[in-house]
Amino acid sequence: MKQIITLETLYEKIDLGENVDIEFKSARGGLPKSLWETLSAFANTVGGYIILGVNELRDGSFEIGSLGNPKGALKTFWDTHNNPQKLSTPICYEDDISLISIDNAAVMMIHVPETTRTQRPVYLNGNPYAGTYKRNFEGDYRCSKTEVKQMLRDASNDAQDFDIVEGFGLDDIDRETLQAYRNRFRSRLADHPYLALDDKAFLKQLGAYRRDRKSGAEGLTTAGLLMFGKESSIMEAYPHFHLDYREKLTDNPDERWSYRITQDGTWECNLHNFYFRVYNRLIQDVEVPFALDHEGVRIGETHVHEAIREVLANMLVHADHKATKSNVIIKERESMLFTNPGRLRITIAQLYEGGVSDPRNPNVQKMFQFLGLGDKAGSGFLKILRAWKEQEWFRPLVYEKYDSELTVVMLPMLSMVPEHINEDLLSIIGDEYHHTDELQRLILILAHQFSTTSNSEVGIYSTKHPREIGDELKQMVKKGWLVSEGSGRGMRYRLKRRDGIENLSGGQAEELGGQAGGQAENSGGQAGGQALQNPEITLHESYILQALAQENKSAKALRTLQDSSVNISGAFKERLTQLLEKGLIAFTIPDKPKSPNQRYRITEIGRALLKEKV
């Protein structure tokens, strides 16, 4: 998607400092050589912004300098960008590049889009193994040969599991595994014609064994070896193949794992056997009712059990089993974590929306589907979201580790809505509470838990656009569920309780639910809506207040106090916004909130709260 780049966007990027998706370069002497390394790194990771004509100051903050010969620099950029001897594929559109004039200075802002798997690797100077870069927090690094090979595999539209493994045949099949698969196949599809075939013909129909018409070579495919092979044979073909299941259900610090399934020589470790051993462990202690047949498949099972099956099968279907990383599952008391080698082949947005499927191993997928496992229509993750929503657990999280080419799925099994909160909201809203949708319930919970909430706070936990959230907040006020306070960006919302206490204001402290009506300090030009008399702050927010109690600081300087994994444009920025809205901090230049010289200061309310809390 093309980006609209404005002066406000530029100030925002400068204010946030360098991060995994922002890079500043002074470019006093023209386009720097490192520009192209950064462009390759962004393209092979998550995209980002390169801003030329910005200087870094000694305190770690940034200021606008000046780009020499802006029009000449722009022409040089496009000439080099479109030269296949320099850049393997052009990735920027015309609207991705902007020259922005500020007083007598000029900067060039380059938006680098995230590339698709078929475009990666984006490399320099015609050599993928020497010219491919990726981004790791605040630096670019040259990819290893292994990383480049992994990207090249994913760039191809050929199935990664249909190649013939040279020298491997039926003797490398574990007969017990194959027989167990056939029994499960027969149990589900008793009249299927494949059941009348001998083992070799049966394996051919599954895509587990094939003959190459051109070369005449024949043997097991990667899918066949991984699914049914002897562990020793799999390891001979793929030395880094590793499946690992761990349970951490103990509080004993000296005991790393309470139970483990891995390659220990006591069983034939292949995809089929791993799946059924692990599934039976995953569903133990899942406190929702279910009923399965003796094969563990689809008889009266709940949506949660169906979701766990989907995650486990999809992990094995989508993993890059030729990579050097392991497939790891960790089960804890209140979560399950699935990690597999290989990045997603679709975007995370497409995954959450459903309807798009691009399996790395389609023949492994077909084998699982004959047993009623896995989904080919791209709706598998939607089933997981549905099951977790029904249980009112925290939303499943999917993310990628770009530096190590891993995909991680986190399934938290913690209730978003404890019973006492449900009861309280039911008493406030009435029977309509039972008919609230996901966004409405989220807003009510946040308003209940934090006394007040805002559009931006709801946005942290929701995928909805701020406009949709704003419309819903207005509707909930009209319905009489919420009361609005303040105006503009300072608008906040609280529950309208039936006993009339919502009408308290000014200095009338409200004890029920920890709410208060004291006025926030309206310093620094901030919106002056009512603030909590004793607002709650998180540990990260207390660190920010402690730092500002010593001296005024920029966003860049404050960010160094946070965990390096924090998303600058998300969680960290939201912490600053919340502290501003609570009246605990303020701008040093209130009339120019986007100024590159902007700093934050602690207010008197913030100092008083810090003295009390810390």
Which residues neighbour 236 within 8 Å (Cβ) at sequence distance 6 or greater? none
With respect to residue 361, please indicate whether it lies within any of the assigned structural domains.
yes
**268 and 377 co-located in one domain:** yes
Query: Strand pairing partners for 415?
Result: 393
**51 and 120 co-located in one domain:** yes
The tokens describing 270, both together, are 């292949």
Query: Strand pairing partners for 124?
Result: 87
Strands 22-25 and 97-102: unpaired
Q: Which CATH number belongs to the domain containing residue 429 in this structure?
A: 1.10.10.10
CB 204 within 8 A of CB 212: no
User: b/e string for 455-472 if b means 16 or more Cβ within 10 A?
Assistant: bebbbebbebeeeebeeb
Rounded CA separation 21/567 (Å)? 10
Rounded CA separation 268/260 (Å)? 15
The tokens describing 431, both together, are 């029977």
Rounded CA separation 173/165 (Å)? 13
Rounded CA separation 34/140 (Å)? 9
Total number of domains in the chain: 5
The amino acid that residue 368 corresponds to is: F
DSSP letter at 208 equals S
pTM above 0.75, yes or no: no
The amino acid that residue 298 corresponds to is: R
CB 124 within 8 A of CB 131: yes
**194 and 280 co-located in one domain:** no
The tokens describing 596, both together, are 């590159």
Q: At what angle do helices 419-429 and 438-450 cross, to 10 degrees?
A: 100
With respect to residue 468, please indicate whether it lies within any of the assigned structural domains.
yes
With respect to residue 163, please indicate whether it lies within any of the assigned structural domains.
no
Q: Which helix (H) or strand (E) holds 492?
A: strand 492-495
Comparing C-alpha atoms, which of 118, 129, 123 is closest to residue 153? 118
With respect to residue 161, please indicate whether it lies within any of the assigned structural domains.
no
Q: Compute and round to an integer the Cα radius of gyration of the chain.
A: 28
With respect to residue 563, please indicate whether it lies within any of the assigned structural domains.
yes
23 to 109, 150, 266, 564: CA distances (angstroms): 10, 26, 51, 16
> Rounded to 5 degrees, what angle do the CA atoms 149, 155, 161 make?
80
Residue 267 backbone class (left: φ over 0; alpha: ψ -120 to 50; beta: rest): beta
Query: 389-431: per-residue pLDDT in tens?
Result: 888 788 888 988 888 899 999 998 877 677 778 888 888 888 8
**371 and 272 co-located in one domain:** yes
With respect to residue 436, please indicate whether it lies within any of the assigned structural domains.
yes
DSSP letter at 614 equals -
Of the residues 237, 258, 289, which one is the last residue of a structural domain?
A: 237
Query: 550-605: per-residue pLDDT in tens?
Result: 888 888 778 765 544 333 445 677 778 888 878 889 888 887 777 777 888 998 88
**249 and 226 co-located in one domain:** no
Comparing C-alpha atoms, which of 104, 93, 98, 108 is closest to residue 25? 108
Q: What is the dihedral of CA 32, 38, 40, 43, to 10 degrees?
A: -130
The tokens describing 403, both together, are 């530096």
> How close are the terminal C-alpha atoms of the chain, in Å?
46
With respect to residue 113, please indicate whether it lies within any of the assigned structural domains.
yes
**555 and 576 co-located in one domain:** yes
**233 and 254 co-located in one domain:** no
Rounded CA separation 66/107 (Å)? 6
**366 and 499 co-located in one domain:** no
Range of the domain at 51: 7-154
CB 261 within 8 A of CB 274: yes
Rounded CA separation 30/442 (Å)? 50
With respect to residue 590, please indicate whether it lies within any of the assigned structural domains.
yes
Of the residues 396, 412, 428, which one is the last residue of a structural domain?
A: 412
**228 and 247 co-located in one domain:** no
Residue 508 pLDDT: 30
3-state helix, strand, coil in the chain (%, to 5): 40, 20, 40
Q: Which CATH number belongs to the domain containing residue 38 in this structure?
A: 3.30.950.30
Q: Which CATH number belongs to the domain containing residue 370 in this structure?
A: 3.30.565.60
**431 and 408 co-located in one domain:** no
Q: Is the dihedral of CA 547, 552, 557, 559 positive or negative?
A: positive
User: Strand (E) positions, 225-383?
Assistant: 243-248, 259-261, 327-332, 335-341
**357 and 463 co-located in one domain:** no
Rounded CA separation 500/465 (Å)? 32
Residue segments in the chain with a per-residue pLDDT below the cut of 50: 1-4, 289-292, 298, 498-533, 563-569
The tokens describing 50, both together, are 């390169």
Residue 512 pLDDT: 27
Rounded CA separation 260/258 (Å)? 7
CB 542 within 8 A of CB 525: no
The tokens describing 330, both together, are 């960790």
Residue 187's φ and ψ, nearest 5 degrees, are: -65, -35
Residue 295 pLDDT: 57
User: b/e string for 139-173 if b means 16 or more Cβ within 10 A?
Assistant: ebebbeeebbbbbebbeeeebbbbebbeebbeebb
Of the residues 484, 503, 522, which one is the last residue of a structural domain?
A: 503
**100 and 217 co-located in one domain:** no
Residue 92's φ and ψ, nearest 5 degrees, are: -95, 145
